[in-house]
Amino acid sequence: MNLTFGQSPLFLLLLLSIAGAGAWWTYRTTIPEIDPLKRFFLGSLRFVSLAVILFLLFEPLLQKQTARTEEPVVAVLFDSSESMALADSLLGAPRSGSMDLMEAIRAETTGFNTRFYTFADNLSIIDSLDTVTLSSSRTNIASALSDAASQLADDNLSALILVSDGLYNAGSNPLHLAEQFPVPLMTVAHGDTSAQRDVRIADVITNELTYAGSIVPVQVRVRNEGITPSPLVLSLMEGSRVISTERLTLPRSGTEVVVDLEFEARDPGRREFRVALTRYETEATWRNNDHRFSVQVLDQKKSILLVAGAPSPDVSALSRLIHEDDTAELTMFVQSRRGGFIEGELPTDLGSYDLILSIGFPGPATIPADARRIAEQIASGTPFLFVLDHETSLARLDSEFGALLPVTLESSRDSFVPGSMNQMPGATSHAIFDIADRQDASLWRRLPPLYVSESTWSTAPGATELASVEIRGIALLDPLFAVMRRGSVKSAALLANGFWRWTLVPEDLKFEADRFKTMFANLIQWLYASDDDRLVRVYPAEREFAEGESVNLRGEVYDESLRPISDASLSLQVTSPEGQIFPFEMLARGNGRYGLDIGTLPSGAYEYRAAASRDDAILGKDTGSFSIGKRAIEFRQTRADGNLMSGLASRSGGVAFVSSNVNGMNEAIRALPSYLPVTTTSMEQIRLWQLMPLLFFMLFLLTIEWFFRKRFGMV
């Protein structure tokens, strides 16, 4: 211990001498006179009190130094993935090979302060190697090393023993971490590093998203290692149904063959498929002869409601273009002069339509209730395409549909003049203008003129202007074609008529007319395609889970302004392949995020429905699906990667071993420069002037002195 003062101790001694002299002088003579022993007692109390006060005023600091020695820590990371079990079988010792290796590692780490871990897709601490099971479907060596360094950062980590076959299928290349790793890596390569006789599916490439009725290509890469070329059968199946089969000859050893299959996407929903190839008796494993994948099939069938203010050539031309789309179902309602529709009353349920197309509607004779019903349906989320016509009542259009359009009516005029479409420069990057020669805006001028309104229009806030009006070669500021996505409203507006002229052109204008047909089809598809603006979103952490792997779902909840909601109740119903329904409640994670760990589930395809509520009000709903099945990713490679394991050891300054011989590991670890006990010293400082006992002691002395002065009759 060491005692220091804020001021010079010599000055303190001087003041203590003065205090002693003052105490002697105070009690040299007393009234009344008391005997010398009592004077000495009272003087001593006075001196000690003054001494304590002076001692504390000089800010005494008591320093205490302590030393602590930390013994070296050795971490053992054991790969618990399925490929380690395959390595056992290839070495001719199913499971006993890894068990013997565990015993050898345990013997070599005797006498060390050892921490045992298993890793696959994450790192887990274990009590001993006896609890290791080789069943994980993923291997992430880089993540395991990073997690180990992080978890043992406060310990005296001196060496890390990595036991693996070196085959990683997740995360980054661990070699990048080896040079910066804080301690040497002692690697133990498990498995046979020689090429194995095996035929495997190296990769499957296909679309993850498609529309019903589409033909989806599936490209399969098959690799041969050591099998004599012979007949090969490759099958694509959905469940037990064989969709497509290819018969060919196995390529020569060490090469690949690419096989093209295809299937027709039928019913909407998530479809589960499997690619399987011939099994050969001499293969190292059959687990990589199958590959499962899933495809989300969307319903491409579009139900379109066309409402027209009156019969017109544009109604006929545009409806004819829609009929050319096999995925579209068109329902037409043309208004009569009396205000009703020629076809009868509008359907009761307008929500069954995927898109509403208005040509010249509302007109002068439109019944307000009909216009209101259609406007309300558009406001609730049904996409809307408006085409201006001579029969359009601009006053009713502005009052009922003004907030739903991507354009704003500034001033109204009933007259129309010939004009053309001036494509805006930014339109070429929009999906609607994914057409031939999209950069050449002059091609629109080759088509017959349109009739554009002399009313004044402007682009609504948040809308995108794709084309403006051009009259006699002069581009005006008024929009002719605009689109908008605002909240639940998705709309487009064509402020001209006469498009029927663009569908009936001579042969020399066929190319330009086809561009318009493609653009109109793109416009319908853009309006129909749903945007991911859901207020409630629930999705699986992975598209496919492996058997035995915990199923995790994530969720997000937002309000109408897309602000996160963290206090909602997010319930979930999971439907099993057998039709059983299991209810769950997702846990809030903060900032509008939610999570659910369902645990392990049997293999198969699952569907879920989610609903979020707050204060008994439904905020939104969502649906989805996920699948569980056996993964072959751990069996894509059957040969242990000894080069990776030795590279990790050499780059980090460690030593590489093989599972058949780990003798000398104990000595190698003890010889490492990092294998040293670490002594850490800490300095504890006690500010004595802040200690309450000393302050109480000072007050106690002064009180005792006062008490005895009164007792002796001096007060």
Q: What string of DSSP letters covers 159-189? A: EEEEEE-S---SSS-THHHHTT-SS-EEEEE
Provide the 3-class DSSP secondary structure of residue 243. strand
Query: Residue 378: which CATH number?
Result: 3.40.50.880
In a domain, 30, yes or no: yes
HSE toward the beta carbon, residue 711, CA cutoff 13 A: 9
pLDDT of residue 84: 66
Residue % of the chain over a pLDDT of 90: 26
Q: What is the 3-state secondary structure (H, E, C) of 561-578?
A: CCCECCCCEEEEEEECCC
Which of the listed ranges 44-48, 527-531, 635-639 does the model predict with the highest average pLDDT? 44-48
pLDDT of residue 560: 61
Helix (H) or strand (E) holding 620: strand 617-629
Mean pLDDT rounded to a whole number for the chain: 84
Report whether 417 contacts 497 (CB < 8 A): no
Query: Residue 94: which CATH number?
Result: 3.40.50.410
| Rounded-to-integer distance, Cα 134 and Cα 120, Å | 9
pLDDT of residue 696: 85
pLDDT of residue 636: 53
| Rounded-to-integer distance, Cα 575 and Cα 580, Å | 5
Asked if 444 and 314 sit in the same domain, the reply is: yes
Q: What is the mean pLDDT of residues 352-370?
A: 92
Lowest mean pLDDT among 34-43, 186-195, 339-348: 186-195
Tokens linked to 699: 């007050």
**Predicted confidence band at 86 (pLDDT cuts at 50, 70, 90)?**
low
CA angle, residues 522, 524, 528, in degrees to nearest 5: 115
Tokens linked to 247: 């018969």
Question: In this model, does residue 89 exceed pLDDT 60?
Answer: no
Tokens linked to 557: 């909840």
In a domain, 478, yes or no: yes
Reported as a single tens digit per residue, the pLDDT across 190-246 is 876 555 677 888 888 887 767 777 788 888 988 888 788 888 889 998 888 888 888
Question: In this model, does residue 97 exceed pLDDT 70?
Answer: no
pLDDT of residue 302: 84
Question: In this model, does residue 634 exceed pLDDT 50?
Answer: no
Asked if 371 and 505 sit in the same domain, the reply is: yes
Residue % of the chain over a pLDDT of 70: 91
Report whether 477 contacts 416 (CB < 8 A): no
Q: What is the mean pLDDT of residues 274-291?
A: 79
Q: What is the mean pLDDT of residues 606-615?
A: 89
Asked if 60 and 103 sit in the same domain, the reply is: no
For 288, 293, 312, 322, 448, the CA distances from 374, given in Å and listed in that order, are 56, 42, 21, 20, 32
Question: In this model, does residue 87 exceed pLDDT 60?
Answer: no
**Domain end residue (candidates: 596, 629, 662):** 629
Angle, in degrees to the nearest 10, between helices 9-26 and 36-57: 150
Provide the 3-class DSSP secondary structure of residue 380. coil
Helix (H) or strand (E) holding 16: helix 9-26
Asked if 364 and 459 sit in the same domain, the reply is: yes
Asked if 46 and 141 sit in the same domain, the reply is: no
Asked if 323 and 472 sit in the same domain, the reply is: yes
Q: Which residues of 643-665 are buried (b: 16+ CB within 10 A; e: fewer)?
A: ebbbbbbbbbbbbbbbbeebeeb
Asked if 394 and 475 sit in the same domain, the reply is: yes
Question: In this model, does residue 595 exceed pLDDT 80?
Answer: yes
- If one compares 343 and 284, the residue with the highest pLDDT of the two is 343
Q: What is the mean pLDDT of residues 651-680?
A: 84
pLDDT of residue 95: 45
Which of the listed ranges 25-29, 274-278, 529-533 does the model predict with the highest average pLDDT? 274-278
pLDDT of residue 135: 64
Report whether 413 contacts 461 (CB < 8 A): no
pLDDT of residue 530: 64
Tokens linked to 178: 């080896």
Tokens linked to 138: 């993923």
In a domain, 679, yes or no: no
Asked if 329 and 469 sit in the same domain, the reply is: yes
DSSP string covering 44-97: HHHHHHHHHHHHHHT--EEEEEEEEEEPPEEEEEEE-BHHHHHHHHHTT-TTHH
Whole-model pTM? 0.52
Query: Residue 596: which CATH number?
Result: 2.60.40.1930
Question: In this model, does residue 355 exceed pLDDT 90?
Answer: yes
In a domain, 680, yes or no: no
Token pair 């009234």: residue: 31
Lowest mean pLDDT among 63-67, 117-121, 667-671: 63-67
- In this structure, is the dihedral angle defined by the CA atoms of residues 572, 533, 295 and 528, taken in order, positive or negative? positive
Q: What single-letter DSSP state applies at residue 136?
A: B
Question: In this model, does residue 94 exceed pLDDT 60?
Answer: no
In a domain, 651, yes or no: yes
Q: Tell me which residue of 152, 77, 88 sits closest to 116, measured CA to CA.
A: 77
Question: In this model, does residue 444 exceed pLDDT 50?
Answer: yes
Tokens linked to 586: 């997702």
Length of the chain: 715
Asked if 521 and 395 sit in the same domain, the reply is: yes
CA angle, residues 180, 183, 184, in degrees to nearest 5: 95
Residue 707's domain comprises: 2-66+685-711
Report whether 346 contacts 320 (CB < 8 A): no
Q: Tell me which residue of 405, 460, 382, 467 sits closest to 433, measured CA to CA.
A: 467
| Rounded-to-integer distance, Cα 89 and Cα 99, Å | 13
In a domain, 453, yes or no: yes
**Domain end residue (candidates: 269, 298, 327):** 298
pLDDT of residue 213: 77
Number of neighbours of residue 572 by Cβ within 10 angstroms: 22
- In this structure, is the dihedral angle defined by the CA atoms of residues 666, 669, 670 and 675, taken in order, positive or negative? negative
Number of neighbours of residue 131 by Cβ within 10 angstroms: 11
**Predicted confidence band at 85 (pLDDT cuts at 50, 70, 90)?**
low
| Rounded-to-integer distance, Cα 496 and Cα 517, Å | 16
| Rounded-to-integer distance, Cα 485 and Cα 668, Å | 67
Reported as a single tens digit per residue, the pLDDT across 294-325 is 787 877 778 999 999 999 999 999 999 999 98
**Sheet architecture: strand order including 355-359:** 328-334, 302-308, 355-359, 384-387, 489-494, 474-486, 463-471, 416-423, 450-453, 496-497
| Rounded-to-integer distance, Cα 651 and Cα 417, Å | 78
pLDDT of residue 562: 59
Q: What is the mean pLDDT of residues 510-517?
A: 94
Asked if 55 and 34 sit in the same domain, the reply is: yes
Asked if 312 and 457 sit in the same domain, the reply is: yes
| Rounded-to-integer distance, Cα 488 and Cα 370, Å | 21
Question: In this model, does residue 93 exceed pLDDT 60?
Answer: no
Asked if 451 and 480 sit in the same domain, the reply is: yes
In a domain, 634, yes or no: no
**Domain end residue (candidates: 475, 507, 528):** 528
- Total domains in the fold of the chain: 5
In a domain, 183, yes or no: yes
**Predicted confidence band at 166 (pLDDT cuts at 50, 70, 90)?**
confident
Question: In this model, does residue 503 exceed pLDDT 60?
Answer: yes
Question: In this model, does residue 487 exceed pLDDT 80?
Answer: no
Tokens linked to 419: 């004009």
pLDDT of residue 339: 81
Strand partners of residue 67: 681
